[in-house]
């Protein structure tokens, strides 16, 4: 990871983690001390968020305070990365691999290496994700080990993301995973990735992130998914917002996910 982007990502994680710590009301009184119900306050000023040409931007006055990115897998097919870069895309989060949601086997994304090379050569900053269907810590560790083997020291500008999602199929092996187990899986994955020299982060929508222990979530930071809104509704801090699964970007022949990375509140 380049030192500049690494510093930005880590500073965002630390800053948002601190902002998430709310002091309690513990003043003197005649009766029992009762804290008021927790009310989440986003660190971002949503009046600075704009939607232009199908994309979101966050600005400090006229100064850009965000970056625009896409995330891709073999489902996007061959990508013209120079065209992507020319269309105003700053970063790409590329699927490294996935675990089958029924068979449980681990697979490398067919276009992983081609996408990493193409994106980097076009000047984009790059991160990767692993689609997890782990049902226990052992499988989560195996997924992290797969990531490190596939990367083999490849430098990244963005984190390695733990991406657990329930699937539509009724026989999805990890669909009914408990909150405690999902939290343990995320922690094991992130710890091993971090020990391997990369920055980990956690991906998910409100339901998934809501199941993960808040201390783990705050420690590693969140890439949040929510579509069809002009202001995100998360009740937790996040650094990257995936706001569309039907984005249009030059160089990609099919729909692609669009993301905004908030550089600072």
Q: What is the pLDDT of residue 38?
A: 72
Higher pLDDT, 24 or 207: 207
Tokens of 149: 């083997």
Other Cβ atoms within 10 Å of 142 Cβ, number:
18
User: DSSP code of 35?
Assistant: P
Residue 5, pLDDT > 70, answer: no
Residues in a beta bridge with 93: 71, 127
Q: What is the mean pLDDT of the chain?
A: 90
Tokens of 184: 């343990």
Residue 58, pLDDT > 60, answer: yes
Q: What is the pLDDT of residues 184-222, one digit of tens each?
A: 999 999 999 999 999 999 999 999 999 999 999 999 999
Q: What is the pLDDT of residue 35?
A: 53
Phi, psi (degrees; rounded to nearest 5) at 94 = -110, 135
Please report, for the chain, how many H helices and E strands are present, in that order: 7, 12
Do the beta carbons of residue 124 and residue 81 sit within 8 Å?
A: yes
Q: What is the pLDDT of residues 44-53, one digit of tens each?
A: 999 999 999 9
Write down the pTM of the prediction.
Answer: 0.87
Residue 8, pLDDT > 90, answer: no
Cα(236)–Cα(238) distance, integer angstroms: 7
Q: What is the pLDDT of residue 234?
A: 97
The pLDDT confidence band at residue 20, using thresholds 50, 70 and 90, is very low
| CATH class of the domain defined by 3-19+43-262 | alpha beta
Q: What is the pLDDT of residue 37?
A: 63
Q: What is the pLDDT of residues 157-191, one digit of tens each?
A: 999 999 999 999 999 999 999 999 999 999 999 99
CA 30 to each of CA 23, 35, 37, 190: distance values in angstroms, whole numbers, following the listed order:
21, 14, 20, 46
Alpha helices, H only, the chain: 3-19, 81-86, 112-121, 137-151, 179-195, 206-211, 214-220
CA 39 to each of CA 217, 229, 235: distance values in angstroms, whole numbers, following the listed order:
18, 21, 9
Residue 17, pLDDT > 80, answer: no
Segment 89-117 shows an average pLDDT of 98
CA–CA–CA angle 258, 204, 154 (5° rounding): 70
Cα(96)–Cα(111) distance, integer angstroms: 8
Domain boundaries of the chain, sorted by first residue = 3-19+43-262
């Amino acid at each position: 990871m380049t030192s500049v982007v690494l510093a930005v990502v880590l500073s965002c994680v630390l800053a948002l983690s601190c902002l998430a710590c709310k002091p309690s009301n513990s003043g003197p009184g005649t009766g029992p001390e009762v804290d008021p119900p927790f009310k989440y306050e986003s660190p971002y000023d949503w009046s600075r968020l704009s939607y232009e040409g199908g994309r979101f931007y966050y600005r400090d006055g006229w100064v850009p305070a965000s970056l625009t990115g896409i995330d891709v897998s073999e489902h996007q097919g061959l990508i013209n990365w120079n065209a992507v870069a020319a269309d105003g895309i700053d970063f790409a989060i590329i699927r490294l691999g996935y675990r089958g949601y029924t068979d449980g086997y681990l697979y490398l994304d067919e276009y992983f290496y081609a996408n990493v090379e193409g994106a980097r050569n076009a000047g984009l900053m790059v991160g990767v994700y692993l689609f997890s269907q782990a049902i226990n810590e052992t499988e989560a560790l195996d997924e992290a080990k797969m990531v490190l083997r596939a990367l083999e020291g490849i430098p990244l500008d963005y984190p390695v993301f733990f991406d657990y999602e329930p699937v539509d199929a009724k026989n999805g092996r990890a669909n009914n995973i408990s909150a405690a187990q999902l939290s343990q899986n995320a922690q094991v994955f992130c710890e091993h990735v971090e020990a391997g020299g990369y920055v980990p982060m956690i991906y998910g929508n409100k339901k998934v992130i809501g199941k993960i222990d808040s201390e783990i979530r705050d420690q590693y930071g969140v890439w949040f998914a929510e579509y069809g809104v002009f202001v995100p509704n998360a009740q937790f801090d996040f650094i990257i917002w995936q706001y569309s699964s039907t984005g249009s970007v030059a160089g990609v022949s099919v729909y692609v996910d669009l993301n905004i990375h908030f550089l600072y509140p």
